[in-house]
Amino acid sequence: MTYMAGAYLIIWGASFIFILTMLRRQAKLDAELKALQEVAQEKEAGR
């Protein structure tokens, strides 16, 4: 059973790390997108 537990630990661990990095990347991109949209709006208003 140790082997099976090891195998599941690997997939759950890998999935968890992958999902976590994906969420972090998404949060970072959302923040960047928001900031860029604000800059674009300011530029638009300044014209």
Nearest approach, Cβ of residue 6 and another protein (Å): 5
Residue 45 interacting with another protein (CB under 8 A): no
Q: Does residue 4 bind another protein (CB under 8 A)?
A: yes
Cβ of residue 23: shortest distance to another protein, in angstroms?
9
If one asks whether residue 16 binds another protein (CB under 8 A), the answer comes out as no
Least Å distance, CB 4 to another protein, is 5
As a whole number of angstroms, the distance between CA 25 and CA 33 comes to 12
Which runs of consecutive H residues, i.e. helices, occur in the chain? 2-46
SS3 label, residue 38: helix
DSSP type of residue 1: -
